């Protein structure tokens, strides 16, 4: 798989936009140690999320007049004043190396003017998932402020997200309960029960009628993933928070599988166009397209236009992995949210493989991204991480679904938002990044999930429209 392939091939095929990296070692956090304070330790984290040990002491004085005197006492006895909080008549103190936290509390509590002393209790965000791979995901999701955004919204099942790709592994343990079900269709009877043009589409529809040599055709309800790319993308968007594996950006939403690429990750513009309209008619509000090509297809452009204008769908698409100037199609079309990739090590810089151009709207981190994969794809699509059907990869293919997940959170929180408003808010709330080697690599900047969800709209004075 070499990204987009040649221009000539595009006229017959769309190739997946995944540049894949070797699997690195899973990151770990330090083990939790109790601070040993008189009241124990306060944990707001989910089970399994370790907390740092308490190493400082908080002292509250009986009055603000006592604050300076207690601080002077502490410094005279080897404590360091780490912080003053005058509004609370409080100090944060670091004990001398030879004094433990318990002993420090006992010593300070006996000082005249001290109301009480206690450990600086360790806390962490309330919604930090307990999934084992989350510590790995946190290296990029923390930068994009996903955990803060989850305090507002984690995604609702009523929000339907379509993934146009190689299909989805419907049996993956981290995707259970996240896959769309068409209750108007009877499985396996060979009849288009609901009259939507797709037979037996109980969990989505496939449009691969002209596969690559060696790949089977896949039509109607045959949405199984015979490569792994689509399952990987889906995990980034919606993997469950179930203390197993990983967690998706919008863990509570529903995903509609639409298979438009074959076992080689190839497809054509007609298949993708059909997939877009199928998703729009099924009720998807946002469509993730982690694929593309270098040529402008009239049929694909028309499908994007219909989905946007007639159904209010926002298409989120990867910009491409050529590393050169020239955003891929359909990301290049108007009304499509085009996503580039930022570096994992230096999030303010471009990932070297990420295509650039004025059509890029925003970027998300695109390196060392964790995703779900079918067991059958381990070692074929990507090497799987130890202990389960998960892998790590690079590419704008894996930056785009982070943005799709953000849009799904926004729709879950405010279902009345229209496609153009969603695109505008994602751009308006992005964090600007330096131009670096190419000024058009990042569009409005790197996504900020918290800011996008906190965005408020207000009416101004009569005759004045403002956000």
For the annotated catalytic residues, the residue numbers are 165, 229, 397
Tokens 């197993």 belong to residue: 244
Alpha-carbon span 392 to 370, nearest angstrom: 5
Contacts of 340 (CB under 8 A, 6+ apart): 319, 350, 351, 354, 355, 356, 360, 362, 363, 366, 396, 399, 441, 442, 443
Element (H, E) at 255: strand 254-259
Which of 365, 297, 306 lies closest to 331, judged by CA?
297
Strands of the sheet containing 218-220, edge to edge, are 218-220, 205-208, 254-259, 160-165, 286-289, 314-318, 336-342, 362-365
Peptide bond into 330 cis (omega under 30): yes
Question: What is the rounded end-to-end Cα distance, in angstroms, of the chain?
Answer: 44
Reduced to 3 states (helix: H, G, I; strand: E, B; else coil), residue 224 is coil
Element (H, E) at 286: strand 286-289
Separation of CA 380 from chain center: 24
- Residue 201 burial (C-beta neighbours within 10 Å; 0-12, 13-18, 19+): buried
């Amino acid at each position: 798989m070499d990204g987009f392939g040649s221009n000539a091939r595009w006229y017959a095929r769309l190739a997946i936009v995944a540049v894949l990296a070797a699997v690195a070692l899973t990151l770990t956090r330090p083990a939790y140690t109790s601070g040993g304070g008189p009241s124990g330790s306060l944990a707001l984290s989910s089970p399994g999320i370790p907390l740092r040990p308490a190493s400082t002491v908080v002292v509250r004085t009986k009055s603000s007049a006592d604050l300076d005197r207690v601080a002077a006492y502490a410094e005279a006895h080897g404590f360091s004043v780490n912080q003053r909080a005058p509004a609370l008549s409080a100090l944060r103190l670091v004990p001398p190396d030879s004094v433990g936290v318990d002993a420090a509390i006992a010593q300070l509590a006996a000082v005249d003017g001290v109301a009480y002393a206690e450990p600086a209790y360790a806390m962490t965000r309330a919604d930090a998932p307990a999934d084992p791979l989350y510590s790995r995901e946190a290296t990029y999701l923390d930068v994009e402020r996903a955990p803060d955004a989850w305090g507002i919204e984690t995604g609702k099942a009523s929000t339907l997200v379509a993934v146009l790709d190689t299909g989805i592994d419907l049996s993956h343990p981290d995707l259970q309960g996240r896959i769309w079900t068409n209750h108007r269709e009877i499985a396996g009877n060979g009849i288009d029960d609901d009259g939507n043009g797709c037979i037996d589409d109980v969990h989505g529809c496939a449009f691969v009628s002209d596969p690559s040599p060696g790949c089977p055709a896949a039509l109607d309800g045959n949405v199984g993933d015979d490569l792994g790319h689509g399952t990987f993308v889906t995990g980034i968007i919606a993997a469950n928070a179930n203390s197993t594996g990983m967690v998706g950006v919008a863990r509570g939403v529903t995903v509609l599988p639409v298979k438009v690429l074959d076992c080689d990750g190839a497809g054509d513009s007609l298949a993708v166009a059909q997939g877009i309209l199928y998703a729009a008619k099924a009720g998807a509000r946002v469509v993730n397209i982690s694929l593309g090509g270098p040529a402008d297809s009239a049929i694909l452009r028309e499908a994007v236009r219909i989905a946007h204008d007639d159904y209010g769908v926002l298409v989120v698409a990867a910009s491409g992995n050529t590393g050169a100037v020239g955003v891929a199609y359909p990301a290049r079309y108007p009304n499509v949210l085009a996503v580039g990739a930022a570096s994992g090590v230096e999030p303010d810089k471009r990932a070297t493989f990420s295509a650039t151009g004025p059509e890029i709207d925003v970027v998300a981190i695109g390196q060392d991204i964790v995703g779900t994969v079918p067991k059958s794809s381990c070692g074929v699509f990507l090497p799987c991480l130890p202990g389960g059907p998960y892998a790590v990869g690079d590419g704008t293919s894996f930056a785009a679904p982070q943005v799709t997940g953000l849009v799904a959170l926004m729709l879950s929180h405010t279902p009345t938002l229209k496609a153009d408003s969603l695109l505008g808010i994602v751009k308006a709330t992005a964090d600007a990044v330096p131009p670096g080697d190419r000024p058009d690599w990042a569009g409005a900047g790197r996504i900020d999930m918290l800011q996008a969800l906190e965005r408020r709209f207000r009416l101004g004075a009569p005759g004045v429209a403002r956000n």
